[in-house]
Amino acid sequence: MKTSGALLLGFLLGVVATAAITGARRLDVPPPVPPPARAVTPAPAPPSEALAQENRKLREELAELRKAAVPASPPERPAAKPAPDFKAKFAEFADQGFAAFQSPEFGEFRDQLKSAGTDGTRFLMEALRSATTAGERFLAAALMESLKDASALPALVEALGKEEDLLVRRMISHAMAVLGTDAAEAPLRRAMTADADLGVRVNSAYGLAKLGREDGRRMLEEAYLSAGTPPEYRVPILSGLVDVAAPASAPIFRRILTDTKELSYLLLAITALGKMKDTDSLASLQTLSVSDSPETVRQAAKKAIDEIRK
């Protein structure tokens, strides 16, 4: 109603102004007829109580829908575990020398490196390349062997070609033998035939024998039988032949059964013949199983007989 009145007042003022501007002086001109008054729309009646309740319910439901539409906050992720400090631990064990290998913590460190996957292997490869002490390089090669990750072979081959420390060279060549794949055949054969150190040559021959190469097995046998081989080398060489367990080496092990009483040699020979399932050794093994040899020898002989007869 107020709005309609304001429009009407404006209309009237507009007519008066127009008359003044045009100089209308005819007093006998009737005044303009105002427009008819607009019908006034009656104010809506207040809603009923039932309708008001329905509106409140709708507003509450709408509020609930809006609340549900808000994306939930993502669950908090557990904080990432800090990466193991390989460098500090590695330096600590390198300072301990060979005693480090007897430490319970050394096994934990090795397991950490292994669980780190390629990161652990890369750390050891870099340590082997850049370490300034022979102890660190020896430790790196020993851990590479433990991890049994063949991707370390190129670093080992490179290191063997330039390493001057004898113990480190032997450790590297043994790691190459243990990790050996067909890709290691050429560098192992080079080391077996050309290296000046018998230990490196024997380790390399072992690697080739593990790959099924006859020249590696023959070299191991020759080194074991040679009068020029230091006595302390014989048991490790024989252990390598046991691990390979090539039937062609059976005559050496059969001879040990009848020609020696030394416990370590006997046990190695018995184990090898059982692995080979060498029927030609059954008579000698049977004799040992009821002999006056130590109980460990008798039991090992019985076990080998069972393995051969299976």
Quick one: what percent of the chain has pLDDT higher than 70?
A: 73
CB count, 10 Å around CB of 286?
A: 13
pLDDT digits (tens, 9 = 90+) for 248-283: 999 999 999 999 999 999 999 999 999 999 999 999
| CA atoms of 101 and 92, how far apart (whole Å) | 12
**CA pair distance 80, 61, nearest whole angstrom:** 42
Task: Give the C-alpha separation, 266 to 274, whole Å.
Answer: 12
The set of residues, in sequence order, having a beta carbon less than 8 Å from that of 104 and lying 6+ positions away, is none
Rounded-to-10 torsion of CA 201, 204, 205, 208 = -160
Domain ranges of the chain: 85-179
Q: Of the candidates 211, 166, 203, which has an alpha carbon nearest to the alpha carbon of residue 184? A: 211
Average pLDDT score, the chain: 82
3-state SS class at 12: helix
307 CB-side CA count, 13 A: 17
What local confidence, expressed as pLDDT, does residue 8 receive? 32
Residue 1 pLDDT exceeds 70 = no
Mean of the pLDDT values across residues 1-11?
36
Name residue 283's amino acid.
A
- By the 10 Å C-beta count (0-12 exposed, 13-18 middle, 19+ buried), 138 is classed as buried
96, 103 contact by CB (below 8 A): yes
Nearest alpha carbon to residue 159 among 148, 146, 172: 172
Nearest Cα neighbor of 237 from 281, 215, 211, 204 is 204
| 12-26, 67-81, 147-161: range with lowest mean pLDDT | 12-26
| Helices and strands: H and E segment counts in the chain | 16, 0
d(CA 164, CA 176) in angstroms, rounded, equals: 17
Q: How confident is the model at residue 51 (pLDDT cuts 50, 70, 90)?
A: low
Q: Quick check: 12 pLDDT over 70?
A: no
296 vs 19, residue with greater confidence: 296
Residue 190, judged by CB atoms within 10 A of its CB (0-12, 13-18, 19+), counts as middle
Structure tokens at 32: 């303009």
Q: pLDDT of 95-132, one tens digit each?
A: 999 999 998 899 999 999 999 999 999 999 999 999 99
d(CA 192, CA 196) in angstroms, rounded, equals 9
Structural tokens at position 240 = 């390598």
Whole-angstrom distance, CA of residue 176 vs CA of residue 136: 17
Residues 144/177, Cβ–Cβ less than 8 Å: no
Query: How many residues are listed for the chain in this entry?
Result: 310
Question: Structure pTM?
Answer: 0.71
Average pLDDT over residues 77-94: 74
34 vs 245, higher pLDDT: 245
Task: Please count the other Cβ atoms lying within 10 Å of the Cβ belonging to residue 214.
Answer: 11
Please determine, for residue 81, whether its predicted confidence score (pLDDT) is greater than 60. Answer: no
Residue 15 has pLDDT above 90, yes or no: no
